[in-house]
Amino acid sequence: MTDLTTANGTAVPRFAFGTMQFGGKADATLSAEMFDACRNAGITHFDTAYVYTGGQSETILGGLIKDCRDDLYIATKVAMEGPATRATITAQFDTSRTRLGLDMIDLLYIHIWDDDTDLSETFETLAELQSAGKIRHIGVSNYAAWQVMKAQAVAQTFGTRIDVLQPMYNLVKRQAEVELLPMCADQNIQAVPYSPLGGGLLTGKYVAGETGRLTDDERYTNRYAVDEMHKAAARLVEIANDLGTSPATLAVAWVAAHPAKPAPILSARTVDQLQPSLAGMTFDMTPEIYALLSTIYPTPAPATDRLEEA
């Protein structure tokens, strides 16, 4: 597996924090409180993107890391808005560096697959940024397994490689188990999955009749519109109550317990909302609890769909 280290050479713990809420539902004060809570919990990997909250996410994070930058691992993403061309990558990357106040960024992702740009242009640009010492690692987000492997072959022609993949993965979004996570384990690519709480579904808040992204944001409403997903969330609440813990704690710990050793990206709007996820970092996920949680939503069929061989 790719060894991720901070700028000063310290190993990066296997959990990250995503700052998508910084500058949006979390103002500067709430963002700083969550940043401090993450640091106190041992998190050093912070994830942002060029598109998050119109740039405020990167700007706020940049202000927070000034006095401890060498102790941290900073990741951002480009080419969600605009194609993954040399012009887009370099322009957005330079803007991201300015917002973050950094000459070098530890990990740069291509945010989403681009059908229309030659992979050679994309990965030659990334290789040049890496050779110039402007980035340390290359990542891709929201890629299918075949797209990762195709891109990896192109990257190798430029003397570099994809080190990190950021897929969606949680108890009710398990497609990554079919090919992505096995591919990461086989190819020594670090999986850093986002949305371990399923947009808040797996916190139990919607079971209790509360509102949030799943009721207010059409993208999340559609993403988690399957009735069985909501039934699974209710079952997760029952299991959490039986174990005397939070559904969010179980959801985070379950993602981290996959044999491919993914590094879940935690996120929240407030420290109080964040605490159950932080507790997932140290939860004792026994094989029995892992197996029980895995029953609340169907395990996807293997890539060959030969169920008798699964």
| Euclidean distance between CA atoms 108 and 242, whole angstroms | 41
Phi, psi angle pair for 101, to nearest 5°: 70, 35
**Helical pair 119-131 and 86-100, crossing angle rounded to 10 deg:** 40
Q: Dig out the tokens for 48 from the structure.
A: 């942002």
Query: Which one-letter DSSP state was computed for residue 217?
Result: -
Query: Residues 6 or more apart from 125 whose CB is under 8 A from it?
Result: 85, 86, 89, 90
- 142 exposure class (CB count in 10 Å sphere: 0-12, 13-18, 19+): middle
- 169 exposure class (CB count in 10 Å sphere: 0-12, 13-18, 19+): buried
- 219 exposure class (CB count in 10 Å sphere: 0-12, 13-18, 19+): exposed
Q: Does residue 52 have an active-site annotation?
A: yes
| Residue from 50, 52, 169, 220 carrying the catalytic annotation | 52
| Euclidean distance between CA atoms 32 and 141, whole angstroms | 26
Q: Dig out the tokens for 202 from the structure.
A: 């797996």
Q: Dig out the tokens for 49 from the structure.
A: 């993107």
Catalytic positions are 52
